[in-house]
Structure 1
Amino acid sequence: MTNEDDDGTLGRYLLLLINLSDPGKSNLDPTGKHVASQGSVAWLGLKSGEIKKWDNMYLQRLLGITTLSGLALQGSVAQGTAQTGTCRHTTVAILGGGMAGIIAAQALHNQSISDFVIVEYQDRIGGRVNHTAFGQKADGTPYVVELGAYWVQGAGGTNGPVNPIWTLAQKYNLTTALSDFTSVQTYDHTGAVDYTYLFDEYNAASDKVSEIGSNILKDNLQDMNIRQAMALGGWKPKVDDMAAQAVDWLRGDVESASPVGESSFGFSTSAGAFTFGQFGPNNFLVTDPRGYSAIIEGEAATYLKRNDTRLLLNTQVTNISYSDTGVTVHNRDGTCITADYALCTFSLGVLQNQAVAFNPELPMWKRTAIQKFTMGTYTKIFMQFNEAFWPADSQNLLYASPDRRGYYPSFQSLDAPGFLEGSNILFVTVLAEEAYRVERLSDEETQTEIMAVLRQMFPGTRIPEPTAFFYPRWNKAEWAYGSYSNWPLGTSLEMHQNLRANTSRLWFAGEATSSQYFGFLHGAWFEGREAGAQIAGLIQGHCTNVTGEEECGGRKYHETLAGTTPSTAYTVENGWPGGLPY
């Protein structure tokens, strides 16, 4: 493959090449198709309309492009290669450049530790805070939409602490719009049907059982799932009452990206209280053209220089060897890194899918904790139309399928006032099994299904095909394998502590390791800060625990965790005659 056009007219593509440095355009090829951010190729459109790949390093040499998202595009380890057999050494290897990894490195920097390396799979930092260019404005430039985290959740409080993500949003002048989740219009397969009264019934039941949720943890009561708890409050939707099932999905499944029958009521209640009760009730959707990751890039820029060799992008970790004396990280490109300590900020999905090998194998208590928790999938499917055919006065449209719970139920308008006005962009959300299903479909198949739903919702309205259509496939992304974590029924705090505990000099952090803010971006912020501070304390020989933990050094873990019923309780009095069968 050559690096020139057949006629040598390279200049006509300079604008497109320059756009490679724009984070809002890095995930689309010129046809509007999504390109996985592997960082190894760029895409150019030729006069004939064909597409061909150019090596990114060639483009950088050609144009002097050395950064993506304002930070160094350093796609290989600066020293240590498979050919020489030597490894680059650092004090701390931070594996993953999402919120947790970037904030952990900042915590090290704040403790005057500068000898660290951040290793990131993608060609950008931010992790699951990931945006893309989408559609087209009147001037021909694209909009920017968020594929992963979209909201600053928990803001607007007056008496408590401020959410650190909201603080960063204000620090970097992030453009946001207040989401009103009470602004809902309801539909079924016959068109607009008002069943908003069901929200009142749901809320009344939720109020009745809120104390039960808090008492589960406070009084050490047996947990239950969200569906069971809501039934105690009087919310028991019939399996064939599809309007009630749609409301149940919107109010129950969405927060955890998992079915209500799987989620712990006790820990879901506490997570909601810690976030919305402590920080404030508001959710702000990010509309900033720089993308939500601007706050992560901004924090990284406080300690990383341009072209900083401590940031290694396009580097896939394949194997981690750890011991009481250090950690060795092996990468797919044949390079390796040795470190006194390593912090693994990979998503729970990456750990569950064994995308990285550990040597020695992680201990049973650690592997059990990894598999006990669940990784939810929250898939947003974006559509732009040449006109907005939906109500302008509502942010949310809820659809009740006649026969399938969770079948393209929630549509949200980005054309609403204060958002991307005039964009004619609508997105629909699917979760869990439905998200897995649409990942297996082609874009064309998914679009056909959604258009059939929209035409049911708006009978008699001429609805055109979308001019732009896109959605991510989170479970096929080797660096994510899902959207965010969830706390399942039957999983204790001690089991969660095993998830966050270190194994020798290998540490773990991320939203999944946050007991109070799991599933939230601020959970990753808190966990990154805490792990970075604790590792700094170990290096410097003093205790640095920002959350007031009594023990210094390694984190506590539980090699064996007991259940709720001792073997001596399997008796006739408890309805179990004859003892255990083994």
Structure 2
Amino acid sequence: MVANVAVLLVMVAISSSLFISKAVAVEATPTVIIVGAGMSGISAAKRLSDAGIKDILILEATDRIGGRIHKTNFAGLSVEMGANWVEGVNGKEVNPIWTMVNKLKLKTYYSDYENLTANTYKQAVPSTPIEMSIDYYKYDYEFAEPPRVTSLLNTEPLPTFSNFGEDLYFVADPRGYESVVHLVAQEFLQVDKSGVITDPRLKLNKAVIEIRHSRSGVIVKTEDGSVYRAGYVMVSASVGVLQTNLINFEPDLPTWKIMAIYQFDMGIYTKIFLKFPYKFWPSGNGTEFFLYAHEKRGYYTIWQQLEREYPGANALLVTVTDDESRRIEQQPDFETKAEVMQVLRDMFGKNIPEVTDILVPKWWSNRFYKGTFSNWPIGVTRYEIYFTGEHTSEHYNGYVHGAYLAGIDSADMLIKCVKGRMCKYDVMPKGT
């Protein structure tokens, strides 16, 4: 069934939410303000620029572009705090992100999960935790939330793998996975000889706190007191952010749009990096990933040794999600370190060395993200607002390629609205 939505003065989308307010008989400079410079915001801005709408202004809350694609230095290594894999490779269609990664010649490594069941360690408890750890690997590890809250519309089948291929490649390059966002940005923004963006249409450290929309245009206010006016505004913020009061909309969004925002889940996926003085875990073919079976679901379950990605670094990666991510973000890192060491001693014996360095990303605590990626929840069967951003992608929510493609789709809607005054759309249910 098609949901027919007439757009009169306002169209709103979430997570890189598309919020379009039509200006009537007013000279607006710029034409479009884009709030957020993550993959969706940058992708949408490029699409607008390619269509001739170059009078844009991008307001980014942080001091960088890339959003939830972000590298950092950890004990001398360049690691990814957020998105880390190109998921969906070697299939019948080519993942656009894989094309960019290859163009940049980023260092990537095939992730081999084939021998995972042989690499399972457990507590001295009944076999039930083993079954739970495998279930956790199959569902929570991919969607950041357990099966009980994840819609089958998001899992059966998973279009990312059925369309783009079953293979996953881990990005471990000093330039960072965020290089793909810079690649898109550099195709329409001015850069200097070193590749640094110098275009005045991109403004960093501009946290938007209010958007006013009316028949005379839109007004965007930022935390530092700046005020910007435009004909249209496209908001690029995560579902988690839109569920907070960071951005105030005046007048309030319609009730049905607010309800749609709160129906979505914002997952939390935490990759904890650990460095040791020497390795004590198995290495070589068939040993990259291993499971820890604990009586508590998701308790330091999924492990990855990073010998291929970072030779000689003696580094491990353990992934936690959902409630465990929230719990760990709220405790000091030294407590997390102690928990991790106890788990490793359960697996490899009491004489292993102490961890020397630990990195615990805290996406949920960050007010500009409030999580890592969306999970399509049970009970939501169709688009209820106009979207842009990874979670709004009909087929690829939760993925980098979903963010990129959703940005293009949202820009196309805005282009039709700006150029052709075609501001009414048929929104299809998910899965049709």
TM-score range, shorter chain: 0.7 to 0.9
Contact kept, 8 Å, 2:28 with 2:231, in 1: the verdict is no
Q: What does 1:427-576 correspond to in 2, within 5 Å?
A: 427-459=317-349, 462-493=351-382, 497-499=383-385, 501=386, 508-541=387-420, 552-556=422-426
CA distance in 2, matches of 1:341, 1:325: 11
1:367 to 222, 247, 258: 258
**Residue of structure 2 in register with 1:341 after alignment:** 232
* Higher deviation after alignment, 102-111 or 177-186: 177-186
The alignment yields a C-alpha RMSD, in angstroms, of 2.0
Q: Distance in 1 between matches of 2:223 and 2:153?
A: 41
Using the alignment, how far apart are the partners of 1:323 and 1:177 within structure 2? 50
Contact 1:96/1:345, CA 8 A, preserved across alignment: yes
Partners of 1:405 and 1:538 in 2: CA distance: 47
Q: How has the CA–CA distance of structure 1 residues 554 and 125 changed in structure 2, closer, same or farther, with 3 Å as cutoff?
A: farther
Listed as ranges, the matches of 1:3-42 within 5 Å are: none
**1:469–1:267 CA distance, 2 compared to 1 (3 A):** closer
Contact 1:88 1:336 in 2 (8 A): no
1:115 to 55, 74, 95: 55
Alignment partner, residue 105 of structure 2? 173
Q: For 2:345 and 2:184, locate their aligned partners in 1 and report how far apart those are by CA, in whole Å.
A: 45
Deviation track 1:364-394 (CA, whole Å, cap 9, x = no partner) reads 1111110111011000111111111111031
Q: 1:182 aligns with which of 106, 114, 128?
A: 114
Are the equivalent residues in 1 in contact too, given 2:28–2:217 (CA < 8 A)? no
- After TM superposition, give the deviation of residue 299 of structure 1 in Å: 1.2
- The residue identity in structure 1 corresponding to 2:182 is E
Per-residue Cα deviation, 1:444-494 (whole angstroms, up to 9, x for no partner): 01000100100010125x22122211111111111100010011111111x
User: What is the 5 A alignment of 1:115-514?
Assistant: 115-135=55-75, 142-157=76-91, 160-184=92-116, 185-189=119-123, 241-270=128-157, 272=158, 274-306=159-191, 307-393=198-284, 394-401=287-294, 403-415=295-307, 417=308, 419-459=309-349, 462-493=351-382, 497-499=383-385, 501=386, 508-514=387-393
Greater gyration radius: 1
Does structure 2 conserve the Cα–Cα contact (< 8 Å) formed by 1:268 and 1:487? no
CA contact (8 A) 2:306 2:316 kept: yes
- Secondary structure (helix, strand or coil) at the match of 2:142 reads coil
Give SS of 2:257's match: helix
Moved over 4 A (4+): none
Distance 2:186 2:58 in 1: 13
Go from structure 1 to structure 2 and tell me whether the alpha carbon gap of 1:314 and 1:183 turns closer, same or farther (over 3 Å shift).
farther
Counterpart amino acid of residue 177 in structure 2 = Y
The CA distance in 2 between the partners of 1:454 and 1:423, in whole Å, is 18
Instruction: Determine the C-alpha separation between the residues in 1 that align with 2:66 and 2:335.
Output: 30
Number of positions where the alignment pairs a residue of Structure 1 with one of Structure 2: 393
Structure 1: which 5+ residue stretches go unaligned? 1-86, 136-141, 194-237, 502-507, 543-551, 562-582
After TM superposition, the score normalised by the length of structure 2 is 0.87
Per the normalisation by structure 1, the TM-score is 0.65
**1:415-451 alpha-carbon deviations (Å, 9 max, x no partner):** 1x3x212111101111100100001110001000100
Q: Where in structure 2 are there 5+ consecutive unaligned residues?
A: 1-26, 192-197
CA deviations on 1:519-553 (whole Å, 9 max, x unpaired) are 111111111011122222322227xxxxxxxxx42
Q: Determine helix, strand or coil for the equivalent of 2:63.
A: coil
Distance 1:115-1:391 versus aligned 2 partners, 3 A rule: same
Letter in 2 for 1:293: E
Separation in 2, partners of 1:260, 1:115: 45
- Using the TM superposition, give the Cα deviation of residue 321 of structure 1 relative to its aligned residue in structure 2, in angstroms: 1.1
Q: 1:425 to 1:88 in 2, by over 3 A?
A: farther
Q: How far apart are the structure 2 equivalents of 1:467 and 1:88?
A: 55
